[in-house]
Amino acid sequence: MILLALLLAAAPTPSTGPADFRSSEVRFGDCVRQSDLDPAAAQQTAIAWAKSGGGVPAAQCLGIARSAAENWAGAVDAFTTAANLADQTHQPVAAANLWVSVGNAALAGGDPAKAREALTTAIASPALSDPLKGEAYLDRARAAVAANDDPAARVDLDQAVKLVPADPMAWLLSATLARRMNDPTRAATDIKEAMTRAPNQADILYEAGNIAGAAGDMSGAREQWTRAATAEPGSDASKRARAELAATGAPLPPQPAKSLPSGR
């Protein structure tokens, strides 16, 4: 969820070299841009850089390029190498951030056990800032849910909402988990917090409908699903909301008209 921000946060300190050579910072930035445009070429760039002694930034670059190519297992390997190198070279902030990157890549690749292991390492580091620690708790909770460990996810989400209370996603996931764990009071409280921070976000409105429906308030459920169906047309949450409305026999809101191109 926070992979790009973490990658940039862990960017290396510029190195000093001859004027005709790019610094590590410049090479790292160029690699990020190349990863967006041509992940395969960026991987080759990173591998060559690593072979020439590129260290942490080169390994991190390879992780970014593999992530862009959705080679999640390869990204886990590259970020793990980068994190270990950062640990070995006494770069605690970079190491902590890179362990979060390992966790995110593992989670994206469907390996919740590896994700939890890496995120636990990151959370244990005193070098990880509170905002990033809150996001790491959030991601570890997602991994716990994927591993069918709802009690552990509850513990992590309680920490997340304390550390990143402005993040609507933390409140949304906390509300969803409370509904799954048959805690309607907590679910209603937390979805209200999410809606306060992001009142027109389709996935939040959709979950608000789910929570209302689970509590037996079908009128409230249809109201929130209708809002979700029109808040972000075409989104997955919007489609799910329309399906719920159809299942209850409620009238479907009209699809927003597509804007016509200008004749000029």
Domain that holds residue 91: 1-10+26-127
Cα 86 to chain center, whole Å?
23
The closest alpha carbon to 96, from 131, 68, 148, 52, belongs to 131
What single letter denotes the amino acid at residue 19?
A
Tally of domains in the chain: 1
Is residue 69 domain-resident? yes
Is residue 87 domain-resident? yes
Cα distance between residue 249 and residue 108, in whole Å: 36
Is residue 102 domain-resident? yes
Instruction: Name the 3-class secondary structure at 185.
Output: helix
Q: What would the pLDDT profile of 26-70 be if each residue is shown by its tens digit?
A: 999 999 999 999 999 999 999 999 998 999 999 999 999 999 999
Q: What pLDDT shows up at residue 18? A: 43
Mean pLDDT per block of 10 residues along the chain (264 residues) reads 45 40 86 95 94 94 97 98 97 97 97 98 97 97 97 98 97 98 97 97 98 96 96 93 92 67 46
Cα distance between residue 252 and residue 83, in whole Å: 50
Cα distance between residue 13 and residue 132, in whole Å: 20
Q: What pLDDT shows up at residue 249? A: 87
Q: What pLDDT shows up at residue 142? A: 97
Is residue 96 domain-resident? yes
Is residue 99 domain-resident? yes
Q: Domain with 4 in it: what CATH number?
A: 1.25.40
Token code pair at residue 5: 């921000």
CA Rg, the chain, in Å?
Answer: 22
